[in-house]
Amino acid sequence: MEYRQLGNSGLRVSTVTLGTMGFGGTGWASPVGHIDVEGARRQIGLARDAGVNMIDTADVYSYGLSEEILGKALGSDRDHVLIATKVRFPMSDEPNDAGLSRHHIIASAEASLRRLGTDHIDLYQLHAPDAKTPIAETVGALGELVAEGKIRDFGCSNFDVTMLADAAAATPPGGPGFVSVQNQYNILFRQPEDGVLDECARTGMAFLPYFPLASGLLSGKYRAGEPAPEGTRLAALGERAADQLSDERLATVAALESVARRGGHSVLDLAFGWLLSRPVVASVIAGATRPEQIAANVAAGQWRPGDDVLAEVDAIAPR
């Protein structure tokens, strides 16, 4: 396993992070399947054995259940991994239980610590922007949590270049700022190339891509002219996945798979290797529903495509 610096923090992270959106398997953002404490414990054990040292969750995943399951599954092994979680979305009908106000951030951090059964969070991330709260208030609240030792570092998710610049301008001189940006990024979705990756390189922030397999399209499971395999995320979406499973999109995936196979690799290997060829990418976040998927993700994170392969990818799926 390769380890990279988590931006401007003092932490080094494995190039593959275990995502836990499936822990609990109920409520908001829940994918196909259900992973209980025992299932989570098995996943974490396999990931750790392979060298994975960061686990990513969020308070809103299964409305707190993902964090609870993660905390119980880790138990006394908590200090052997880095925990990343997030704050932004409502966890109740209480009017102030949402957003990025100081009130909500402080209360949410305390709640996450209780659910996780820990005294600190390694990476606390803003799950999405909040246009109603001044970013200076948000950064100030995160700084308080760092000073109190409740979080080690903080980052953001789904922020664009302007939002990142506003946050940097609101950070007190010498005070802690964002160490990472977690945005959607994969071969078929290249929006971060419109400035965010350059901003990470300029400021030293790490980039943490989520949905590296484009909701499974880059896993090799889907074929043109064939129904989505039963039990997969896109099969569960039904007609809502029509755009994802269009003939044009599947033809692009088939072309990418052909490029990967010429080098003795799978399209999943290509998806991970392509992301990790970017120096600002510290770790690729990927969940799993079966043990073999963890092994495949870890193996995929070890390949670095050459410049000739990267050029072919650009020709097939241009920016």
Dihedral (C-alpha) 34, 37, 40, 46: value to the nearest 10 degrees? -140
Residue 97 pLDDT > 80, yes or no? yes
Mean pLDDT score across all residues of the chain: 92
Was domain 3-216+270-304 assigned CATH 3.30.300.250? Answer: no
Catalytic residues: 61
C-alpha 20/C-alpha 212 separation (Å) is 14
Neighbour-count burial of 285, counting CB atoms closer than 10 A to its CB (0-12 exposed, 13-18 middle, 19+ buried): buried
| Single-letter amino acid code for the residue at 254 | A
C-alpha 56/C-alpha 285 separation (Å) is 7
Q: What's the gap between Cα 292 and its chain centre? A: 20
Residue 288 pLDDT > 80, yes or no? yes
pLDDT band at 236 (very low <50, low <70, confident <90, very high): low
Quote the pLDDT of residue 246: 82
C-alpha 210/C-alpha 192 separation (Å) is 11
pLDDT band at 26 (very low <50, low <70, confident <90, very high): low
| Single-letter amino acid code for the residue at 223 | R
Residues 141 and 105: beta-carbon distance below 8 Å: yes
